[in-house]
Amino acid sequence: MKNLKASELRIGNYLQGEPFSCQRIGYGDGVIQIMAGGILGVEQGHLNYKPIPLAEEWLVKSNCSKINVPNMYAIGRGDVCISIRFLEEGGNKICIITDDEELYLKNHVKYLHEFQNLCLDLTKEEVIFKKIS
C-alpha cells in the first residue's frame, strides 16, 4: 500500500483509519478532523491512515451512473465524462471524454481518493457516497 502525500489529500477524501473504519477528511459529524498540519501528519506517518483501494463496491454506493456494460460506471458534467470499468483480470480502465478528445488510463488510478480528486478536478462535481460503513 502506498504512502499518502499531503499534496494529494483534500477535504472530502475518504481514507482507511484504524481499526478498519472508513473516514472522510473534513469537519462535522462522522468525519475526521484532519486539517492543514494534520494532513502533513498523515504523510509523515504520525496519523495512521491509509489509502482505500478503488473498488467497484465504492462506485455502487456513489452518484456515478451504472452503464449498460459489465462493471462500468460513469460520472459527468458539462462537456466532460469520466467512465471507469473494472477489469476481470483486476485493475481498471478509465476513459475521459471531452468535446475534443478521449484519454484512456489503465490502472493509473488505484485509490479512492485519487478517483475522487480526478472527478472533482475535471467535472467540478464531487463523487458523493451513500451510507458508508
C-alpha cell read off for 19: 481499526
Query: What is the rounded average pLDDT for all residues in the chain?
Result: 78
Among the ranges 10-14, 83-87, 105-109, which has the highest mean pLDDT value?
83-87
- Rounded to whole angstroms, the Cα distance separating 56 from 46 reads 30
Q: What is the pLDDT of residue 1?
A: 56
Q: What is the pLDDT of residue 42?
A: 67
Residue ranges of domains in the chain: 6-43, 56-123
- Rounded to whole angstroms, the Cα distance separating 85 from 67 reads 9
Given a cut of 70, is residue 35 above it in pLDDT? no
Place of cell 462506485: 59
Q: What is the pTM of this model?
A: 0.78
C-beta atoms surrounding 116 within 10 Å: 24
Q: What is the pLDDT of residue 52?
A: 86
